[in-house]
Amino acid sequence: MNQEFLTPKQQELIQKVRELSKTYILPNAAKWDRDQIYPWEIVQALQAEKLMGVWIPEKYGGLGLGVFELCLLVEELSRHCGGVGVAYAVNALGSFPILLGGTEEQKQEWLPPIARGEKLISFGLSEKISGSDAGSMITKAIKEGDEYVLYGEKKWNTNGGAATIYTIYATTDPNRGHRGVSAFLLEKGHPNFEIGYMEDKMGIRTVSVHELYLNGARVPADRLLGGKEGTGFANAMMTLDRARPGVAAQALGLAQGALDLTIEYLTKHSGEFPKSYTYEDGQFFPDEWESAPKSSEQAIQFRLAELATKIEAARHLVYTAAKLIDAGAKNISQISAMCKLFATDTAMEVTSECMSLWGIEGCLRDHPIEKYYRDAKITQIYEGTNQIQRLVIARNLLRSFSA
Ligand SMILES: Cc1cc2nc3c(=O)[nH]c(=O)nc-3n(C[C@H](O)[C@H](O)[C@H](O)COP(=O)(O)OP(=O)(O)OC[C@H]3O[C@@H](n4cnc5c(N)ncnc54)[C@H](O)[C@@H]3O)c2cc1C
């Protein structure tokens, strides 16, 4: 990618993360993936470089940059490992709710340790029975005096085992549907709050994804996000609008990483190609063969050109969405959904095609291309499946014409 339009500071950030990725991710990614080991080495290196809260304002201890820089970092990390990319990005997903809906006191209390990288945060919205239809959640928070008591189970909590802060959504008024949903801040070790079953996943295996059990966890009322009941669902939706470019950036990094590796392979490895043909009975028969780099075959070059063009198109969509968010644009749902849809579908297509270009070798366990392919799949599902992204885009399109 031509990065000349990035500021020197942005280029410096990418360069720094690239160096850290080569030192900490490249030698370990296959092992972390195979054995589901959390990537603490790279997380600690990012903490040491003060890169864990780039999107958090300076007054809360962050670098005061934006979703764009978040995306640049997630893309770079994901070029080397998609699991590490999401382990990092989920801190934005977990902290956006506080930035968007927290009281000033909550921001001052909860954001600085996240910005310094001392604490990781996760986002607890989904449940067994409520994924796409998040508003139908059944986890409940019952007010008792100055406290709320939480009962229920959260599912698919990314960073669940590694995080120490959890943004948890629960209904405070089941009769009001999604308008009865509220958000709470919980910490690991809180009585009757348990980090449960860890999923054995197909991809992004280095990052832990857990069930969370709330067995009557009693929290003081100042843990209610924004100090107001019923604002949780809107908070979650606004959060997802801002976080989806991060998933798209993860997909972008995966696609770019897979393509780079494939081009290197095709230029360094030779294949046998027909040099001349004989035409007989309406068919061409090769009669002389020659050895040449696989990349010299025009049919292969055309496939590479198409994949690279799609990646670049995805990149522009992701960067535009992120920049619009940072510019404070009013309606970001549509562009955010578009970049997530296009970049993640592109990642799936590119990683699948790259696997074909590697041939049978690319399908072997522990081969980096096979890992890129497995890591890419989830990007089409989490933070709203790509069917849900289509719904979001279509609703926005239709609304703009019926207004
Ligand atoms: C590895 C992993 C990590 C995750 N991390 C988190 C996390 O950190 N925090 C969190 O809260 N959640 C997390 N999730 C949950 C994730 O966001 C949900 O899995 C996702 O929203 C889809 O929900 P579901 O799996 O229940 O599928 P369902 O909602 O049951 O959907 C099943 C299928 O039906 C389709 N569908 C559903 N409704 C519609 C509709 N109205 N129109 C058209 N098609 C529809 C879907 O597109 C999908 O294809 C994670 C999931 C995974 C797998």
Residue with CA at minimum distance from ligand 1 atom 29? 132
Per the DSSP assignment, residues forming a β-bridge with 184 are 168, 224
- Mutation probe of ligand 1 site: the residue of 381, 386, 390 with most atoms within 8 A of C-beta: 381
Residue of 174, 175, 193 lying closest to 184 (CA atoms): 193
Ligand 1 atom closest to 201 (CA)? 1
Whether the CB-CB separation of 213 and 190 falls below 8 Å is answered with no
Show the domains of the chain with their CATH numbers: 8-115 (1.10.540.10), 121-231 (2.40.110.10), 235-402 (1.20.140.10)
Q: Which residues contact 299 (CB under 8 A, 6 or more apart)?
A: none
Which of 127, 153, 370, 383 is labelled catalytic?
383
Whether the CB-CB separation of 55 and 67 falls below 8 Å is answered with yes
Binding pocket residue ranges, ligand 1, CB within 6 Å: 90, 122-126, 131-132, 156-158, 201, 209, 378, 381-385, 387-388, 391
Q: In a structure prediction context, what are the per-residue pLDDT tens digits for the chain, which is 403 residues long? A: 677 899 999 999 999 999 999 999 999 999 999 999 999 999 999 999 999 999 999 999 999 999 999 999 999 999 999 999 999 999 999 999 999 999 999 999 999 999 999 999 999 999 999 999 999 999 999 999 999 999 999 999 999 999 999 999 999 999 999 999 999 999 999 999 999 999 999 999 999 999 999 999 999 999 999 999 999 999 999 999 999 999 999 999 999 999 999 999 999 998 888 888 999 888 989 888 889 999 999 999 999 999 999 999 999 999 999 999 999 999 999 999 999 999 999 999 999 999 999 998 899 988 999 999 999 999 999 999 999 999 999 999 999 887 6
Residue with CA at minimum distance from ligand 1 atom 41? 388
Q: How far is CA 110 from CA 194, 240, 337, in A?
A: 20, 20, 28
To the query of whether residue 229 is one of the catalytic residues in this protein, the response is no
Q: Which residues contact 227 (CB under 8 A, 6 or more apart)?
A: 103, 221
Let me know how long the chain is.
403
Find tokens 């940059």 and name the residue: 65
